[in-house]
Amino acid sequence: MFRVQNDPIDLNELVRYVTDAEAGAIATFIGTTRNNNEGRNVIALDYEAYPEMAEKELARIGAEAAQKWQIQRMAIVHRLGPVQIGEASVIIAVSSAHREAAFAASRFAIEEIKKTVPIWKKEVFEGGEVWIGTQTGQPLTQR
């Protein structure tokens, strides 16, 4: 299950998906909108994707994780559009027979997502907004 969507992500759906009789461990990672970033009061994060390629890259991460570690099942769902404080922008769930693999694969997945998956986030903060990662000194887009 490798998907981007506008609806809130359902943690239970992912955990059910990776639940497996052969698994002794499930690791999940939930990325959430934090109310502050680099000294700014954050109001929300707004995610945009190149959706077809984003899902393809998420699946590629899953395939690579399955090659590196003995995992049973994996799911990654990323949310698009505005994500309010405390809400989930991404959830990763991995099951494995032994816990080592689930931990390693979920860690690997979030690091990879931040490197190669064509998803961008605009931070909406008190006083402006900025596309994260493209700052060059000053925020590029002021309200």
Residue 49 contacts a copy of itself per CB under 8 A: no
Residue 28 contacts a copy of itself per CB under 8 A: yes
Residue 47: name its binding partner from other proteins, a copy of itself, none (Cβ under 5 to 8 Å by kind): other proteins
**Which residues, other chains included, contact 65 with Cβ-Cβ below 8 Å and sequence gap of 6+?**
71, 74, 94, 105, 108, 109
- Residues 44, 33 contacting (CB under 8 angstroms): yes
Residue 140 contacts a copy of itself per CB under 8 A: no
Distance CA 83, CA 124 (A): 10
Residue 33 contacts other proteins per CB under 8 A: yes
- SS3 state at 98: coil
Pick the closer one to other proteins by CB: 66 or 87. 87
Residue 108: name its binding partner from other proteins, a copy of itself, none (Cβ under 5 to 8 Å by kind): none
Distance CA 101, CA 13 (A): 21
Residues that bind a copy of itself (CB under 8 A): 11-12, 15, 19-36, 85-86, 95, 97, 99, 102-103, 106-107, 110
